[in-house]
Every structure is written in structure tokens, then in C-alpha cells.
Amino acid sequence: MRFLGIFSSITLLLVIGLNSKAVCQNDVATDLSKTYSNSIEIDAELLGFSFGFKHRIHQDLFYGTQFGAGLTLSQLHTGGGFTESSYFSEIIHLQLLLSYCLDDFIIIETGPRISVFYNGESEIEMFSLATSGFIGFNNFKIGIRLGFFGTNFNEHNIITSSLLILRISLKKK
């Protein structure tokens, strides 16, 4: 299962990378009136989708929200030395975002995230600080997400990790 996920991620990265010119969604410019100030995006992970809205607050800095539903596979790491891990499906989430474009095509997002996970036996509501990294290719981006300092009010310091995320910019205004 792990090999299949890694192989799929590398294949998707190569296909998108070879067919696209790398450009950041923020298109760095000195005059903000010539660039967009709002962005609507959709993220796809396995059988789950997220919709996000971001508003520009500075040349390369955005803030916004993201709401998602569906089955997205995440791995939760718990225990004293994070020795225990298990796979859960994230059913629904809500996140506040702060997004920054580091270079012409590297995007970092972070913010608090509230999620509901299910593994077939139990349901876990969790609050965490999620950080995502994306590589931009025109209107398509690929990335991963890590959740830090997670708590489900019974256990603390839960770390979550996602599989590959495909992001598509729907509208820039």
C-alpha cells in the first residue's frame, strides 16, 4: 500500500511537471492593481474535496478559509515517541489559512484546523495546527499537509500527515 502511494505521487509529479511551466499563483508584481486580490480553489485528495477562499493582504501574503468533506486518508501518529500510528479517514474539516508564496512556485500555508476522523470503529474530533506545502504549476498545484500539536481532548501531540493533494485554482479576481 505504501509503495503504491509513493509510486502514484512520483508519477503525478512527473506528469504535471513535464507538461506545465512552473509559475506561482501569486504572480509577484510591484503594482497590486495589476494582480488579483481573491482566489477560489479546490483541493482533491483520494475521495475527498476541499474548497478554499483566499484574500490578498500583501504582495505575496493571503488569508482565508477552507472547508472540506469526503474521504481523505490521513495517518495519525501518537504515543510518547510517536511510535503508534494508524490510518484514519478525515470526514470533514474547517481551517483558517495564512498563505505565503516563497518563490516563483513554492507556496506554504498554515493555520488552525478542526477535523473529524473515522477509522471504521471510532470517531475522533481533533484540533491541530496544519501546515501545507505546494509546488505550483500554472493553475495546478501539488502538495502535502502535516498537522502539528494535535489534540482530541484525550491525547495531545498527535501528528497527522496526508497523502498527495492536487489543487486547482478555479477563479482569481
* Phi and psi torsions of 2, nearest 5°: -65, -40
Instruction: Say whether domain 2-172 belongs to CATH 2.40.160.
Output: yes
Q: What is the mean pLDDT of residues 165-171?
A: 88
> How is the chain split into domains, by residue range?
2-172
Q: How far is Cα 161 from Cα 77, in angstroms, rounded to an integer?
A: 8
User: Is residue 65 within 8 Å of residue 96, measured between CB atoms?
Assistant: yes
Q: What is the mean pLDDT of residues 18-36?
A: 44
* pLDDT per residue as tens digits for the range 100-149: 988 778 999 999 999 988 877 878 888 999 999 999 877 889 999 988 88
Least reliable range by pLDDT among 24-33, 34-43, 86-95, 156-165: 24-33
Residue 72 in grid coordinates: 481523505
User: Is residue 43 within 8 Å of residue 75, measured between CB atoms?
Assistant: no
Q: How far is Cα 158 from Cα 149, in angstroms, rounded to an integer?
A: 6
Task: Tell which wins on pLDDT, 28 or 128.
Answer: 128
Residue 102 pLDDT: 85
Q: How far is Cα 147 from Cα 160, in angstroms, rounded to an integer?
A: 5
* pLDDT per residue as tens digits for the range 40-84: 899 988 788 899 999 999 888 999 999 998 877 777 776 655 456
